[in-house]
Amino acid sequence: MDRPEAVLRFAPELALFLRSANRAGLVTVTCDGVSSLGHVVESLGVPLTEVGGLTVNGRQSGPGSRPQGGDLVAVSAIARPQRLDSARFVLDVHLGTVARRLRLVGVDAAYANDADDDALIVQANAEDRVLLTQDRGLLRRRKLWLGAYVRGARPDEQFRDVLDRFDPPLAPWTRCPACNGLLAPVAKAEVEARLQPGTRRTYREFSRCRSCGRVYWRGAHGARLEAIVAAATG
CATH: 3.10.20.30, 3.40.50.1370, 3.30.420.130, 3.40.50.150. Which one for 5-77? 3.10.20.30
Confidence band (pLDDT; 50, 70, 90) for 43? Answer: very high
Contacts (Cβ under 8 Å, ≥6 apart) of 218: 173, 203, 205, 226
Mean pLDDT of the chain: 92
* Fold classification of 80-170+221-234 (topology level): Rossmann fold (3.40.50)
How many Cβ atoms sit within 10 Å of the Cβ of residue 100? 22
Contacts (Cβ under 8 Å, ≥6 apart) of 192: 200
CA distance 92 to 217: 28
CA distance 121 to 112: 13
Q: Residue 164's pLDDT is what? A: 97
User: Which pLDDT tens digit goes with each residue over 164-209?
Assistant: 999 999 999 999 999 999 999 999 888 878 777 777 667 778 899 9
User: Which pLDDT tens digit goes with each residue over 86-120?
Assistant: 899 999 999 999 999 999 999 999 999 999 999 99
CA distance 64 to 191: 58
Instruction: Specify whether the CB–CB gap between 104 and 40 falls below 8 A.
Output: no
Domain ranges of the chain: 5-77, 80-170+221-234, 174-217
